[in-house]
Every structure is written in C-alpha cells, then in structure tokens.
Copies of this chain bind each other. A is one copy, B any other.
Amino acid sequence: MKEPYPKILTGAYPLGPYPMEKLRQVNEPTTAIVGPIERFDEREHGFNRAARGDYGSRAQHRSSRGYPVSGAVASNYAGLAAMGERAHAAIEETMPPYPLPEDPGILTRHVKSLGYFMGADVVGTCRIPRYTIYSHDSAGNPVENDHPNAVTIVVDQGYATMDASSGDDWISSAQSHRAYTTSAFIAFAVAAYIRKLGYAARVHYSEDYQLVLPPLLLLAGVGEIARNGIVLNPFLGLRFKAAVVSTDMPLEADKPVDFGLQDFCRKCKKCAVECPVQAISYDDEMSVYNGYQRYPFSAERCTRFRLTNPHGSFCGRCIKVCPWNKPAGWTHDLVRWMIQHAPVLNGFFVRTDDLFGYDKANRDRQWWFDPSE
C-alpha cells in the first residue's frame, strides 16, 4: 500500500461503532494525577487479600465460578492461558511482507482497526507511565515491563442482560467474565499481529497483569474517572471490561477526554446511594489517593460484598444504576450531548432517569435462572 493512504487510515472516518473522535480532547485527565504515585503491589488487591483470608472465611473460599453460567463463561480462561503461553514465548515467526508506514498515526489507526474488526467496542492508545507497572505480581515476584506503548481493548458487557439485571444478582459475575474473556481474546490477536510485524507485544488481562489498567484507560481517552473510582465511557457507561496490549511498536498516543463527567458525578451520587454496602463516598469534593485525585472508596467493603453477596454472584450495582448505562440510540445520544454542553441540567437528567426506571431490573427479560435457596 502506497501513499496517499486510504481515508480510514488518515482519520477521515470514525474507526469503531461509537463516535469517540467527537469527544473533547484535553492534555491532562479531568481528575488530576498529582503524584508522587507509588507502584502498586498486586498482592494488595482486594481479591488477593480475600484469598489470603483477610476478609473472612466465606470471602476466602467462595468463587464466582460456582454459579454455572459464570463458571461456563469463565471456563474459556483455559484457552486464553494457552494463547498466553504461546504468545509470551520469544518473538516467533516475524515475516513483514509489506513496508510499514513511517507515520505512527497511520500505523496506530491500522492496529486499532484490527481491534475493531475483531469486535472491540473502543480501542485507545497511550504511553505507559512507569507508575502503572505493578511493583510485584500476586505471587510476589518483582514486575518489569519496558514497553513504551499501550493499546487498550474495551468490550461492552452488553446492554440487554444489564437491562434485565439488578446489577447485584446472579448474572453479575458472568457479565464480568464475558467481557474480560472477550477483550482478552481480541487482545491476543492484536498482540500476535504486532509480533508478526517484528515488534514485541504482551497481553495484560484479568488473569495475567503486569500493568494497572484504569490509569491507562484514562490516559488513552477511553473515559473519565467516575465517583466510584473507575473509568466511565460516555457510550458504554461503566458497563465494560478491558484488556491491554503493551508493545514497543511506535504508536501515536490518544489524549484524555472531557465530556463533562466531573460536574455530573459531583451532583448525581446515585452509585453512592444504591451501593449495597456504602463503599462509595457521598463527598462533594475529591481527595488525593496515592497521587490520584478521586473520591474516597472502600475497596475492602466492595470486595468483601462481591465475594459474599448472599443473593447473587459478585456485584455491579453501581454499573447498573449509573445514568450513563443506556442503550445506543438517538434519544440517549441527545441526553449525552446535552450533559456535555449544558451541565446546569445534570440534576434534571438524574431525576428523569429515576422516573423512567432505568435503575430497575427488567425481570421480563431475565434469561438466566436463580439458584434455589
């Protein structure tokens, strides 16, 4: 392929299903990273602490995979592990049959397009700051990764099932595993492709991380940090999971985005109200945690409840009730636009959302079975 490159590679069209390109781009995330940030030890993650017994016996021994739908979806991790074993081996067969473009922008849109072709909902890129590399993995081994660039692969958990769910019922963990396994499946194909072009690439997914993903999603412009401390995308809400490919391929970095979420989250507080264990703050202002500006959040309460939830398998109640959890469509696109451009209306939208019952489980559409207790 010679210059001029096709329009799709020069940025003339949106690459994926959502108009990410139309969001306002900014030089710094809307939640400040003030630093200094200490590298995180994966052993201190909630699930690893629970596995050591820090949250009690029930949290230590209960697996999301005991619920059959969840266990079935999670069974595909076996195959992903096999992809990983092959992929993490030394660079295999590198066979560049075409001269790659020197322009990193062209190359970046090419690689992103492969992610979209494979079914990703949002694909972003960013540099990898050293503070996003875990200091130690869950087994206690020191972690190093010298790849400068990240490709973030985002997959929707699916609106139809979220519509039928309360967010903290039996399907919750299956929704997570579905999006985790699918994003990893896509990431392995993208990483294999990058290696075939002669560059190093490694997949970071829910069973095998070297990198802390949320700050990478923030830097890559996937979304802004919401009140509950995780990244919110304006088209998917909080209803997604991600995998990341780290690489030494020269890529153009995306910028963080600003679609007005900070004003919205300050007023809304719906996730804080609805959280079954009050793990999310009602504060009007953020504080600073390990160098990140964010609302206070109790990871312990959240993790403990997810592992012990007596009426469900895990929990994603904040994801469900978030007013940004909406189907694709023009009325909701209009509301998204107005939130971005007329923040004075934000309180009105939250109340309208309550009236329409978007926070309720639409049980007419529940396709899964509850265990008999």
Contacts and interface: CB of A to CB of B under 8 A. Distances in A.
Interface stretch (A45-53, A96-104, A211-219, A281-289): A96-104
Contacts of A98: 369-372
Interface stretch (A21-29, A32-40, A61-69): A61-69
B9 A72 contact: no
B82 A97 contact: no
Contacts of A182: 118-119, 185
A71 to B, nearest CB: 6
Nearest to A98: B369
Of A75, A185, A192, most buried by chain B (CB within 10 Å of CB) is: A75
Given A95-B66, A364-B7, A365-B7, A192 B158 contact: no
Interface string A93-118: 10111111000000001100110111
A6 interface: yes
Contacts of A158: 117
Point out which of A161, A164, A193 has the most chain B C-beta atoms below 10 A from its C-beta: A193
A118 B6 contact: no
A71 B196 contact: yes
B185 A368 contact: no
Contact of A96 (B68, B69, B78, B97): B68
Contacts of A73: 118, 189, 192-193
A180 B369 CA distance: 29
A319 to B, nearest CB: 16
A143 interface: no
Interface string A317-349: 000000000000000000000000000000000
Nearest to A80: B79
A12 interface: yes
A190 interface: yes
A192 B83 contact: no
24 contacts: A6-B364, A6-B366, A8-B164, A8-B365, A9-B367, A15-B367, A67-B97, A68-B97, A69-B193, A71-B192, A75-B192, A76-B189, A76-B192, A79-B185, A82-B82, A98-B369, A98-B371, A98-B372, A110-B367, A110-B369, A117-B160, A117-B367, A118-B182, A119-B182
Interface of A: 1, 6-9, 12-13, 15, 66-69, 71-73, 75-76, 78-83, 86-87, 93, 95-100, 109-110, 113-114, 116-119, 158, 160-161, 164, 174, 178, 181-182, 185, 188-190, 192-193, 196-197, 363-372
